Amino acid sequence: MTMVGLAVMVMAVTLVVLAAAIVPAFLEIRKAAVASRETLERIESDLRPLLRELRDTLTDLNLIVHETAEKKEDVASFMGALGDTGRSLRTINSVAGTVAGFLASSSLWLTGAKVAGKYALDKFISKGGKKHVEQ
């Protein structure tokens, strides 16, 4: 055997060993590819309803946002009216407090005037009665 023959023989043995090692690896790669394809198909079938639901939810959310934007002016008007009502209630409360204070002070004055009038009348009557009896 010559050197070329020996080299060819070593190359042939190397190719056989390499083929014996690569064939199982290729079979495993093929199995992994099939499993990956099945997994992707399952994920896709599970995601379709989820994506459809998400699309419906986004449509509903878009409708809600649109309706809210349309009602923004009404809400602003309502809040303005609510503020005006609060200011009116404060004014009414202030006026009621002032009137109550006035009534309380006038009631005190009236009570004082009654007491003073009664005292003066009692004095007048008691002096007038004594003058009549003395004559």
* pLDDT higher at 122 or 108: 122
**Average pLDDT estimate for 67-82:** 85
**pLDDT score for 56:** 95
Q: What is the pTM of this model?
A: 0.37
pLDDT digits (tens, 9 = 90+) for 18-46: 888 898 889 999 999 999 999 999 999 99
Of 54, 13, 115, the C-alpha closest to 107 is 115
Q: Which long-range contacts (CB under 8 A, 24 or more apart) does 53-60 make?
A: none
Between 68 and 104, the higher pLDDT residue: 68
**Where along the chain do its domains lie?**
1-95
